[in-house]
Structure 1
Amino acid sequence: MRIGQLAEAVGATTKTLRFYEERGLLPPAQRTPSGYRDYTPDAAARVEFIHRGQAAGLTLAQIRQIIDVRDRGQAPCEHVRDLLDARLADIDHQLQQLTTLRATIAELRQQATRPAPESCPPGQICRYL
């Protein structure tokens, strides 16, 4: 299948597919006699896998690691589990930081409930921040 057909089938752009190929996420496509890329049917499954990995928050480098393990003939299950564990830990940390940030902003907002511009010294931009 030509690059445009693959792009349409997987909801990507041709530029994205070329990028994936350059980065080793997609194996190089065969070329037609006129030089067009001609992808095998399994290329669509691989691009869909890449998209699922990105949706899970994995980087393209991490996705490439998984693909490399599979391409060596091994099941990448343990590697994927470890990556997902790390991703969950990252998300938990981000949630903790967001909770702290929200509490800080809520406190600042509470202090700004009754603004009194006349009591704000001219040398101070805003007493609430």
Structure 2
Amino acid sequence: MGFYHAVDWTESWIRCVLAMEVLTLIAAVALRKSETAQTVLFVWCMLVAFSARTLNEWGGRHWRSFSKQNYFDENGFFISTVLSTPMMVTQVVVLVNFFRLMVSMMIKTKRAQLRAKAKKDE
């Protein structure tokens, strides 16, 4: 709770980051039937999460130009909590969806094999 109260959630850049994360998650769910869209979203989330250290360093140097206080500590706790963790949650959603799509494709393939075998046996 201390972390929650320490952050000024009304800052526009924080709201933009949160909105981007919510939109990414919504897109992952809405586009769950498109393997291409899921792949793009997965790579996007991976790139954002991997760039967190660089973003944290940049934010630590330039926070005065866009923020009321410095959230960017050396350990990267804020950036990990507010940026990386939601991106990784979206990646898990995409991975679960890929697993679901894979199982569905395997079932379709096996059914087609069984139908082909039944026709051959007749």
> RCO greater where, 1 or 2, for CA within 8 Å and sep 6 or more?
2
Pick the TM interval, shorter chain.
0.3 to 0.5
Higher helix share: 2
Structure with larger Rg:
1
Alignment TM-score, normalising by the size of structure 2: 0.41
